[in-house]
Structure formats: structure tokens, C-alpha cells
Amino acid sequence: MMQRYHSPVLFLLLSLSGEVTHDAYALASVASSGRLSALSSVKVLYDSTNNWHRSIQYHPEQPERIKVCIEALEEKRKNGLTSVDLINVASLPAGEETTGHSAPFTQEELEYARSMLVQAHSEEHVQHIETRCRSSRQRRIDDGKNPLGFVGYIDDDTYLTTESYDVCLRATATWIRAVNIALDHTISKKKDVNESLQHAAVALTRPPGHHATSRLSNGFCIFNFAAAAALHALQSDPVRTISVLDWDVHYGQGVADILQHHERARYVSIHQTPAFPYEGEKRGIHGIHKNIMTVPIPADTTWTCGYKHIFEDVALPFLYSSYPTESSGDKWEPDLVIVCAGYDALTSDELASVSLTAKDYGHMSRSLLNRIGLRTDSTSDETKNRTPPSLMLGLEGGYQLGKGAAGGNLADAVMETVEGLLE
């Protein structure tokens, strides 16, 4: 079991007595560096070929969302934020340069990702999207056209190109690989002591996925990456428990729809109402396993006027609690936390009316780490005798790309999140 030693003198005495754990050594090493986060690095995965899924007319869900985030992260890396690794999962032509380093998927990874999509949805649903995209691409090839072309709309908001299925398959594989990175606590040797290095992982993928239910693509979302990643985590360890935190401004009814059937998973969403998808409009705990919490908030909510209280005192206790509480129900100490990280609650985002700023997402990162015990100054008594859960985040919404936008834009909010994980 992990213990936390905020006093260097106490840590030294316990080290000499042989009572300090390897995890405690790692936390003390981080603390001595002046950082409070127990995470050694943040691995950011992205697919540079996500732009093969794009509309033929203006659409807020566009490839530039990933581009601006990667550019901002790379700029920060050049200016000293070396604890962030950028990993491009796309298969690139030989010699083509990339931001960060290249680590394309194997065929086995993609096949496995498809198997998780089938479990989150159904073979019929996955095959329908696959066939619609690939048959359209083949027709274009047969007609002597560019293979990349627009296929059409699933609904008024959700579109397909000939490459959308494969972009979404790689996005699913990205979330799954990010989960694996987060779960893998690398052991390194330092001063003859085995030190556990814990990494957070971020999947910067598009389109978003949290609205996709087991049977329906909707709300920009074709497949549900968060649900597929969660099912992967559950199936790869028969006793593992997970929590999913959704801070996108819209209710992720798709994640709730799929995870409500899995008693080793919890899902909590903080979302504006009324707003799409016009569900989850009452605060409460739902589902056959009482594992779904909906926390609606009104328009114009700010961090200091409502959101901070709801985030820290309502959502996080349901996400992680070492003893039963009124808001959390039974004791719940997950092994993995997945964040559906949407950024459309920014005050200037065109798709909603909540009034968060980019810096508020930094506060949310630090509050989350404190709650689950991934900060060396954690004030939570609940986590002091337990190894903290692994952590991965995946991009959902967030559409404000304008430079100088009031309260910050998508790239600013992502940067605040990542820096909050490492401070």
C-alpha cells in the first residue's frame, strides 16, 4: 500500500528503517524536485491523418481542432515542458516528418480496436459504418476519382467521408493504447531502489464519441471511444474497476447507455441543461447498478459560481471515495480513471453557454489529482494508504479555435489541463 510522506526528515527516517514503499520513494522524489504532481510524464497521442474525416462545408467539428492543440503542445515542449511526449499514431510515408515521434498501429491493434467497438455497439452497427465508407471509397476509385470524398450525413450534425470509419478505428485504438500506457507503471532503478514511474496519457482524437449509443451515431459522434476503452480496461483484468468523468458541456448519453450494464464501472457527467442531447436533466444516481451520475448545471455557470462546488463536492466523490457518502453511495476506489475531456464549456464556445475559462481546466486537473491521490500535497485522507488509480484523458468536444478568444480557446484549455497534470 502506498503511503505519503510530506516531511523529508520523516521519509529519511522511514527509509533507514526499511518501512518506506517504492511508490512512496517515487512520490518523495517528485516532491523534492519542486513539483507536486506524482506523474512523471504525460504521453499525448494523436493521429495526423484525422483530417481525412472532414465536412465539405463549415462545421465546428473540424481537423484544425487537433492541429492547434499539437502546435501549442509542441511550442511548450520547445520552451521547456519536456515531461510531455507527443506520439503520432498515423502510418506515414517513408521520410515524412512528424511532430513528436511516430508509433503507428499494428494490424493486430486495429483488429482488437474493432473487436472493442463491436462490444460497445454491435457487429451490425460497426459493419454498417464500415461498409458505407469503404464501398463509397471503392466506387470513387473505380470511377477514377480521388479515394477521399464526402459520403453524406447520418443526421443533421454527424457526417461521413470515405475515410471516416478508418479515422474512427484509429481513434478507438488511440484511446485503448492510452489506457495501456496509463496502466503501465514503469519500474526504473534509482539509487539502488526500484522506482515506479506513473504516466498519464491523453488521446487527442476526433470526431468526439461520447454521444454515440450502442445503436445510434449522433451529435458529431460515430463510435464511442471512451466506452470501448473502458470495456478494454474491464476485460483485460477481471477485478479491475474504473471511473469515467465527463466534463464535456453536453451529457455523454452514449457512455451512460453502454456502461450502465457494467457494475465495475462508474460514469459521472457534469453538463449544461437544457442542451443537446436533452437527457440527464435531473441530478441523481441512475442505472441498474446505480453507477451513473448526472449533474446538470444551468447556463452561465462559472468556476467560482457553482462549478467548483459541483465538481469537487458532488462529481469527484462519486468518482472516487474510500468510504460511503450521501453523494457517492458505496465506497468506490477505482483502478483507472478515464476523463471524457470536452472543452465546449469555455465561455466563448459557440455550442453552449457555460462560462468556464481555460485556466479553470487547470484547476480541474489539480482537483482531480488531489482527489485520487496523484499529488504529493494531497489533502484527501482517503488516498493516503492506497496506490492511486491510473489516469487517461481523451478529447471530446471543444470548438473555440479563435486566437485571443475571451476566456481562452481549445488549445489554451488543453494546455492548462496538461500543465495542471504535471505541476
In sequence order, what are the beta bridge partners of 84? 42
In sequence order, what are the beta bridge partners of 242? 265, 336
Apex 371 CA angle, 17 and 264, nearest 5? 100
Backbone angles phi, psi at 301, to 5 degrees: -60, 135
Q: Which string of DSSP letters, residue by residue, matches 171-210?
A: HHHHHHHHHHHHH--EEEEETTEEEEE-EEEEEE-SS--T
Cα pseudo-dihedral 333, 285, 365, 31, rounded to 10: -20
For 300-359, the pLDDT digits (tens) are 999 999 999 999 999 999 999 987 777 666 789 999 999 999 999 999 999 999 999 999
Question: Is 164 exposed, middle or buried (CB count within 10 Å of its CB: 0-12, 13-18, 19+)?
Answer: buried
Distances (CA, A) of 299 to 215, 249, 307, 344: 30, 10, 11, 12
* 3 state DSSP class of 375: strand
Closest to 259 measured CA to CA, from 169, 365, 182, 334 = 334
pLDDT at residue 32 in the model:
43
What is the model's pTM? 0.90
Cα pseudo-dihedral 343, 345, 351, 352, rounded to 10: 170
Distances (CA, A) of 381 to 126, 308, 322, 344, 384: 44, 20, 9, 33, 6
Question: Strand 390-395 relative to strand 84-88: parallel, antiparallel, unpaired?
Answer: unpaired
With contact defined as beta carbons under 8 Å apart, do 214 and 121 qualify?
A: yes
Report residues of the chain scoring pLDDT below 70: 1-35, 186-196, 327-329, 378-385
Q: State the Cα–Cα distance between residues 136 and 134, nearest whole angstrom.
A: 5
Closest to 61 measured CA to CA, from 400, 361, 355, 403 = 400
pLDDT at residue 351 in the model:
97
Kindly provide the b/e burial profile for residues 259-276, where b requires at least 16 CB atoms within 10 angstroms of the residue's own CB: bbebebbbbbbbbbbebb
**What's the chain's Rg over C-alpha atoms?**
21
Half-sphere exposure of 70 (CA within 13 A, CB side): 21
Question: Is 81 exposed, middle or buried (CB count within 10 Å of its CB: 0-12, 13-18, 19+)?
Answer: middle
pLDDT at residue 97 in the model:
87
Half-sphere exposure of 263 (CA within 13 A, CB side): 5
Closest to 21 measured CA to CA, from 141, 196, 183 = 196
